[in-house]
Amino acid sequence: MTIEGTMTGQILRKSLREGELEPGNEIRIAIDQTLTQDATGTLAFLEFMALNLPRVKTEVSVSYVDHNTLQTGFENADDHLFLRDCAKRFGVYFSKPGNGICHQVHLERFGRPFKTLLGSDSHTPTAGGLGMLAVGAGGMDVALAMAGVPFPMKVPEVINVRLYGRLPDWVSAKDVILELLRRLSVKGGLGKVFEYTGPGVKELSVYQRSCITNMGAELGAWTSLFPSDEITREFMRAHGREGEWAPLFPMEDAQYHGVIELDLSSLHPLIAMPHSPDNVVAVSELQGLKVDQVAIGSCTNSSYRDLKMVAELLKGKRIHPDVSLVISPGSRRVFLMLLEDGSIAQMVKAGARILELACGPCIGMGQAPPSGGVSIRTFNRNFKGRSGTEDAEVYLASPEVAVAAALKGRLVSPSVLGGYPKLKEPDRYPLDDSLLIPPDPSPVELNIRMGPNIRPLPHLPAVAEEIDATIVLKVGDNITTDDILPGGSKVLPLRSNIEAISKYTYHRLFPDFVEKMKRLGKGIIVAGENYGQGSSREHAALAPRYLGIVMILAKSFARLHRANLINYGIIPVQIEEEVYVQLQEGDQIRVQGMLEILRKREEFYVEVPKKGIKLPANLNLSERERDIVLAGGILNYYQRIL
Ligand code: MIC
Ligand code: SF4
């Protein structure tokens, strides 16, 4: 079986720098563009600085500020200055706070069909909506891509999602991806790329396609891709970039590892219930649920199409008195359109609160719902506590469903709102670049300003010959990086200071974790399936490492988090269910000859001396990954060879 004829295969072939294009093999691909955002970008640039290169080597690198825009202290503002200086010094575009959410701005301003994009954010696959192979990664991997180092990835399995028919009124792109999450779950995409083809593709605009590829991240997939067709070309023309368009289609003989048939016309409005994006049911099943808050925006649903729909549905009406409706436009271009065509006025008159053009409530930066409150959001993640309110009930749905809830104060089928607005994609967007600073043509010498909260990367000791540590934590399936290291307005400003942020490791779920680690000095975590799902934040690996976590024994790992663990020298070990059930918190674990195992063994035993048992475990690391762990992390490894 070969993936050569698929769209993924064609881009990988063009970008291949090392290895064979056989599913399961590790290859290296050239990265054309990178994106970083402020919450992961400060580490990424500290890491880039540690590589001692004068300038980035990519075609385009963009540093966005969109997550940490709430300036309640000096920390975030200092981070913005640091990132501004790094961009100037290293030849990177700088998207100032207020320009919009990285993924939407990137789609509009930089995304190019047939090219590769690596971003230090898990929703980087948004750009797959215009035929770009766009992958999320940890900051260190993006720093290396900026340094021109080809990106290592396992050749994925490619799954074909064939779309038929057209979306009925009141059903939108969000329902397509919620339906896939319902069918496949948050683990359904591990090791896979989803390619969308079929006659239904032409019924979707680029923004709608991007809503789908964006939330492909929630399936755990490497990425998702749509063809680049005339609709893509028109989108790029509307953004003044038709010259950058290139066609992309699967070849006639393309082979896929699986086919999913999806008839768009059979879909109805769906909603993900607390606390997982795959906990999906029909809106009709929850009819009447009382709603406290409605939040519209995020990189998934804040395009012109989505917000124009919201404005049209709010026009001449008033939101329910018990509901707070907040709306955050995704980009300045979209915001200007909405201002100029009167949409924002319609929203405001209806009672909406207009927020900054940023991630905002999606990552708990403001707008936490009331205690026990029900919040309907057009976002992509509803993990427990992510909203900033531990006992809030967060639901994910389309803009149509969200706005209907805002008007009625209860969850209702959006069709009760009457006629479905017929919207047309604009022929031209205002090509506003007023908050985008292009890189200088030649290298710039300047002192990078580093505020007091920006601390050097911690030094991490290399792996010891013998592992002898306690299981400090045993967790179940689908632990998210938000569980490991939460976002929110209190913790996010500490992203540039590992010592400070490490104090919040597991602090929502296991408040004594940090104390325990301080006492023990080192420890091991045992976990179920899909450990570390969700974001790309390397802090969720680096902070536990800093506290002394040396190894994680899990039934399976989320792809992005596993890469981050390796990059920071935590050994990811795979165990079977029989082993998982025998390990308990407090067990002392011993592994002898760890260096030898890391050098050449796949299978080995972990000993629990007190119980007198030896349990089988599996390393499952590529040669490169072994070398990185042995070197004590990726920075040491590359500093040696660059
Ligand atoms: C998210 O949606 O979880 C984030 C916040 O955008 C993260 C990045 C981060 O933690 O900074 C992501 O998706 O990778
Ligand atoms: Fe920002 Fe939310 Fe998108 Fe993450 S998912 S990039 S926090 S808008």
**Contact, 567 vs 138, CB < 8 A?**
yes
What are the angstrom distances between the C-alpha of 446 and each of 37, 84, 323, 422, 539? Answer: 22, 11, 49, 52, 28
Number of neighbours of residue 139 by Cβ within 10 angstroms: 29
Give the domain ranges of the chain: 7-20+27-266, 270-416, 467-639
Least Cα distance to 289 among 174, 397, 171, 178 occurs for 397
Q: Ligand 1 pocket by C-beta < 6 Å: which residues? A: 39-40, 67, 121-123, 363, 381, 487, 534-537
| Mean pLDDT, rounded, of the chain | 97
Residue 112 has pLDDT above 70, yes or no: yes
Q: Are strands 436-437 and 93-95 parallel, antiparallel or unpaired?
A: antiparallel
| Segment 537-559 mean pLDDT | 97
CB 100 within 8 A of CB 73: no
Q: Residues with Cβ < 8 Å from 242, sequence gap 6 or more?
A: 233, 236
Pocket residues: Cβ below 6 A from ligand 2 = 67, 101, 121, 123, 298-299, 359, 362-363, 379-380
The predicted model gives 74-93 an average pLDDT of 98
C-alpha 2/C-alpha 571 separation (Å) is 32
- Return the SS3 of 160: strand
Tell me the β-bridge partners of 127. none
Return the SS3 of 157: strand
Question: How close is the Cα of 360 to the center of ligand 2, in Å?
Answer: 8
Q: What CATH code is assigned to 7-20+27-266?
A: 3.30.499.10
Residues 157-174 have pLDDT tens digits of 999 999 999 999 999 999
Task: Say what the pLDDT of residue 514 is.
Answer: 98
346-372 burial code (b ≥16 CB/10 A, e <16) = bbeebbbebbbbbbbbbbbbbbbbeee
User: What number does the ligand 2 atom closest to the CA of 103 have?
Assistant: 6
pLDDT for residue 639 is more than 80: no
Write the pLDDT tens digit of every residue in 602-620: 999 999 999 999 999 999 9
Pocket of ligand 1, candidates 69, 106, 122, 561: which has the most ligand atoms within 8 Å of its Cβ, to mutate? 122
Residues 194-199 have a mean pLDDT of 98
- The HSE-up count of residue 314 (CA atoms within 13 Å, CB side) is 30
Is residue 147 scored above 80 in pLDDT? Answer: yes
Minimal-distance CA residue to ligand 2 atom 3: 299
Compute the distance from residue 161 Cα to the ligand 1 centre, in Å.
26
Chain segment 242-285, per-residue pLDDT in tens: 999 999 999 999 999 999 999 999 999 999 999 999 999 999 99
User: For residue 66, which ligand has an atom nearest its CA?
Assistant: 2
Q: Report which ligand 2 atom has the smallest distance to the Cα of 121.
A: 6
Alpha carbon nearest to ligand 1 atom 6, residue: 121
The pLDDT-based confidence of 641 (bands split at 50, 70, 90) is low
Instruction: Give me ligand 2 centre to Cα 614, in Å.
Output: 43
Which parts of 304-386 fold into alpha helices (H)?
Answer: 304-314, 332-340, 343-350
Domains 7-20+27-266 and 467-639 share a fold: no
pLDDT over threshold 90, residue 125: yes
Residue 286 has pLDDT above 70, yes or no: yes
| Local confidence band at 642 (pLDDT 50, 70, 90 cut-offs) | low
Give the closest residue (by CA) to ligand 2 atom 1.
Answer: 359
Q: Half-sphere exposure (CA, 13 Å, Cβ side) for 101? A: 30
Q: What is the 121 CA–ligand 1 centroid distance (Å)? A: 5
Note if the pTM is more than 0.85.
Answer: yes
In the predicted structure, residue 627 carries a pLDDT above the cut 70: yes
Instruction: Give the pLDDT score at 432.
Output: 95
- Counting from 1 in the atom list of ligand 1, the atom nearest the Cα of 492 is 11
Give me the pLDDT at residue 443, please. 81
Alpha helices in 161-241 (DSSP H): 173-184, 206-215, 230-238
**What's the confidence (pLDDT) of residue 23?**
87
Proportion of the chain above pLDDT 90, given as a percent: 96
- d(C-alpha 177, C-alpha 182), whole Å: 8
Label residue 48 left, alpha or beta by phi (over 0 means left) and psi (-120 to 50 means alpha). alpha
- Tell me the Cα Rg of the chain: 24
Ligand having the closest approach to the CA of 357: 2
Number of residues assigned to the chain:
642
Lowest mean pLDDT of 49-53, 117-121, 198-202, 376-380, name the range: 49-53
For ligand 1, atom 5, the nearest C-alpha belongs to 363
**Residue 320's pLDDT is what?**
98
**CA separation for the pair 334, 293 (Å, rounded):** 23
CA of 63 to the centre of ligand 1 (A): 15
CATH class of 467-639: alpha beta
First to last CA, the chain: 36
**Which residue from 157, 258, 176 is spatially nearest to 215, judged by alpha carbons?**
176
Q: Does domain 270-416 have CATH number 3.30.499.10?
A: yes
541: region left, alpha or beta (phi > 0 left; psi from -120 to 50 alpha): alpha
E runs forming strands in 381-480: 393-396, 436-437, 467-474
Mutation to probe ligand 2, out of 326, 362, 383 (largest number of atoms < 8 A from CB):
362
Query: Closest ligand to 126 CA?
Result: 2
Q: Which ligand is nearest to the CA of 39?
A: 1
Ligand index nearest the alpha carbon of residue 330: 2
Q: What is the pLDDT of residues 461-486, one digit of tens each?
A: 888 999 999 999 999 999 999 999 99
Q: Give the per-residue pLDDT at 116.
A: 99
